[in-house]
């Protein structure tokens, strides 16, 4: 039996009857038990189509966690979510199966009701060629499509889903969970691909950018000899994303395009720590050190003769906010 599909909540319906079952759910029919609240037509207005694709490395517990993240996201951005649950080769079954789920929650103002719709599809790999048709039927027409490939076992698997990769306005993946061969994958539209690990860094990028904005760009780049990012075991992906961002911003400040950037594990660093350091040849220095477990970060800098130290609260974006950052910004 399909383990992931069975673990997800919702009312099982026939694949051919998904649209009618959703209509009955909102009208108060038998499928109404899938969601905790009622809503009028205005509450069901959706903004986007969102496909969450659960790869072979996804466990039942992880599937439930990602489902809840999608629900939390949809409370802020009402959407039609299609959750794809491929069956493993050792799982019995040859047919598509479907579930529906809906829920409504109060918005920011009186009368503002936010509703989301979920369609879960389980399919055997032998029937993958029919998946595009099934997904297209489930999506709301005339709305942008966003695709999240979660915990795939191999980037080769993505080649089977060029339809989603090519059509989506954004394609999301998490480099912290990506297979090793992901770096070699040729995206059909690389300009729309977003890394969730990079998106999680938004508070870090904002804090460092705000701190450095107090210095003239020429001072920041003057005498700059190299950049180092060190990380604990939990944040290797975020460290690489921070290095990419730092390079881009330093080039904007006039830094040499051949500047050396080094990313690696920090010896003796806590698992939840990340450190960014600028190395100068003129006596200047800059460092930022944050620890997600402690919830704090420390700046130390001497740029243009000004000595600065600052301690701030620190954390990465939460999962639902990370999705929004990667999808819309």
Q: Quote the pLDDT of residue 39.
A: 46
Q: Quote the pLDDT of residue 317.
A: 98
Distance CA 305, CA 35 (A): 61
Burial of 168 (0-12, 13-18, 19+ CB in 10 A): buried
Three-state secondary-structure class, residue 197: helix
pLDDT band at 34 (very low <50, low <70, confident <90, very high): very low
Q: In terms of pTM, does the model score above 0.75?
A: yes
pLDDT tops 80 at residue 108: no
Distance CA 132, CA 282 (A): 59
Q: The tokens of 210 are what?
A: 């705000």
pLDDT tops 50 at residue 3: yes
pLDDT band at 326 (very low <50, low <70, confident <90, very high): very high
Contact criterion met (CB below 8 Å) for 100 and 23? no
Q: Quote the pLDDT of residue 44.
A: 58
Q: Quote the pLDDT of residue 45.
A: 64
More confident residue, 233 or 29: 233
Distance CA 27, CA 19 (A): 12
| Beta pairing partners, 80 | 49, 117
Q: If you ran DSSP here, which 8-state letter would residue 89 be given?
A: T
Q: The tokens of 64 are what?
A: 């439930």
Write down all domains in the chain, each with its CATH number in brackets. Answer: 3-188 (no CATH), 202-317 (3.30.360)
Q: What are phi and psi of 257, to 5 degrees?
A: -65, -20
Q: Quote the pLDDT of residue 14.
A: 96
291 Cβ neighbours under 8 A, 6+ residues apart: 270, 272, 273, 274, 297, 314
Region 220-242: what's the mean pLDDT? Answer: 97
Determine how β-strand 260-265 pairs with β-strand 273-280. Answer: unpaired
**Closest C-alpha to 120, from 211, 57, 38, 34:** 34
171 Cβ neighbours under 8 A, 6+ residues apart: 147, 149, 164, 165, 187, 189, 192, 193, 194
Tokens 């903004």 locate to 47
Contact criterion met (CB below 8 Å) for 31 and 62? no
pLDDT tops 50 at residue 38: no
DSSP 251-277: HHTT--TT-EEEEEEPTT--TTEEEEE
pLDDT tens per residue, range 143-187: 999 999 999 999 999 999 999 999 999 999 999 999 988 888 999
Region 31-36: what's the mean pLDDT? Answer: 43
Task: Say which range, 85-99, 191-205, 286-300, has the weakest mean pLDDT.
Answer: 85-99
Q: If you ran DSSP here, which 8-state letter would residue 106 be given?
A: E
pLDDT tops 60 at residue 8: yes
pLDDT tens per residue, range 128-151: 889 999 999 999 888 999 999 999
pLDDT tops 80 at residue 60: yes
Q: Quote the pLDDT of residue 35.
A: 47
Q: What is the largest CA-CA distance in the chain?
A: 73
Counting residues of the chain whose pLDDT is more than 90, the rounded percentage is 80
């Amino acid at each position: 039996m399909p383990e992931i599909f069975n673990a997800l909540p919702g009312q099982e319906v026939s694949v051919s009857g998904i649209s009618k079952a959703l209509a009955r759910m909102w009208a108060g029919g038998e499928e109404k038990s899938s969601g905790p609240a009622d809503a009028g037509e205005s509450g069901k207005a959706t903004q986007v189509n969102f496909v969450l694709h659960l790869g072979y490395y996804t466990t039942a517990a992880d599937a439930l966690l990602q489902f809840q993240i999608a629900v939390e996201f949809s409370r802020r951005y009402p959407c039609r979510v299609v959750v794809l649950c491929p069956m493993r080769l050792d799982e019995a079954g040859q047919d598509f199966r479907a579930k529906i789920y809906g829920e409504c929650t109060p918005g920011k103002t009186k009368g503002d009701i936010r509703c989301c719709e979920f369609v879960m599809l389980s399919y055997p790999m032998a029937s993958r060629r029919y998946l595009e048709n099934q997904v297209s039927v489930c999506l709301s027409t005339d709305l942008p499509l966003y695709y999240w490939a979660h915990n795939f076992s191999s980037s080769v698997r993505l080649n089977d889903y060029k339809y989603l990769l090519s059509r989506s306005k954004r394609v999301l993946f998490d480099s912290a969970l990506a297979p090793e061969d992901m770096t070699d994958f040729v995206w059909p539209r690389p300009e729309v691909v977003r890394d969730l690990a990079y998106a999680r860094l938004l508070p870090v990028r904002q804090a460092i950018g705000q701190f450095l904005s107090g210095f003239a760009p020429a001072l920041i780049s003057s005498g700059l000899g190299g950049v180092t990012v060190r990380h604990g075991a939990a944040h290797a992906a975020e460290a690489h994303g921070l290095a990419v961002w730092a390079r881009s911003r330093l080039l904007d400040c006039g830094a040499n395009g051949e500047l050396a950037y080094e990313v690696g594990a920090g010896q003796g660093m806590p698992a939840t720590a990340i450190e960014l350091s600028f190395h100068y040849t003129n006596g200047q220095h800059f460092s930022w050190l944050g620890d997600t477990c402690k919830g704090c970060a420390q700046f130390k800098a001497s740029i243009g003769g000004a000595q600065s130290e600052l301690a701030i609260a620190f954390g990465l974006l939460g999962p639902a906010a990370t999705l929004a950052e990667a999808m819309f910004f």
